[in-house]
Amino acid sequence: MKPNIKIIFIWISIGLLIAAGVITSGCSNENASKVPVITDTLHAPETTPVPGISKPPSLTVGAIPEISSYLPGETVQVRIAFKNSGENPVQIKSFPPEISVNNPSFGVVRSYPCGSDTITIESGGSYDYIMKWDQCNNDEKQTEPGIYSVEILDVSCVENGNEILYYSEGRDVAQVVIEYPGGAVNDGLIFPTSKEITENIYKARQLSSI
């Protein structure tokens, strides 16, 4: 049986076409892998940096007068508490800091410069300082009865190797009430003392019994 030359030729042609297709596909993939990837940085969306959460100050200061009010001439004592709420020790330089006694009408009445001591408050600890005021102004004259504020300024500290200045613009930490001889002062008004109230109640009872 003689082989059909035409059929053989057809099969050879088909094989050549398949081989050519495979070679062409391989070259295309290779060239595609060599195509550089271009990133459009000019029109890429901008990312907004997330702001860090600021830590609260480690040093806090609070104060309270030893008694609610004073009579003229008495020595005023205010307990000022310095508390360290941070994780590291806080060193306060020039202790005690600058302190002033102010009046709403007269401004600064008495000022105390900062000291020269250095104290260290451990984490979670506190330190109390007693400020004493003889009720005199900077000219050593007796001040008038009224309401006075105690202000601290420029508390210089070192925490974790960093120098920090607290209350550079001043901060009121307590109020002091100086009574009039015949009554107490409250928000600029004069109220009877407890002794006068008791006497008035006694007199009223006497009148009602007549």
pLDDT of residue 7: 64
Does residue 48 fall inside a structural domain? no
Alpha carbon distance 204, 210 (integer Å): 10
| Contact (CB, 8 A) for 147 and 188 | yes
Does residue 88 fall inside a structural domain? yes
Domain that holds residue 102: 59-196
pLDDT of residue 155: 95
Does residue 130 fall inside a structural domain? yes
Does residue 36 fall inside a structural domain? no
* pLDDT tens digits for range 13-68: 666 666 656 555 555 555 555 544 444 444 445 556 555 555 678 999 999 999 99
* pLDDT tens digits for range 73-113: 999 999 999 999 999 999 999 999 999 999 999 899 999 99
Q: Which of 22-36, 123-137, 153-167 has the highest mean pLDDT?
A: 123-137
Half-sphere exposure of 42 (CA within 13 A, CB side): 1
Alpha carbon distance 118, 96 (integer Å): 9
pLDDT of residue 169: 85
Q: How far is CA 129 from the centre of its chain?
A: 22
Q: What is the CATH number of the domain that holds 144?
A: 2.60.40.10
Does residue 106 fall inside a structural domain? yes
pLDDT of residue 209: 46
Does residue 40 fall inside a structural domain? no
Does residue 22 fall inside a structural domain? no
Does residue 49 fall inside a structural domain? no
Q: How many domains does the chain have?
A: 1
83 strand-pairing partners? 60, 126
Q: Which of 6-10, 25-29, 129-133 has the highest mean pLDDT?
A: 129-133
pLDDT at 132 over 90: yes
Q: How far is CA 140 from the centre of its chain?
A: 37
pLDDT at 179 over 90: yes
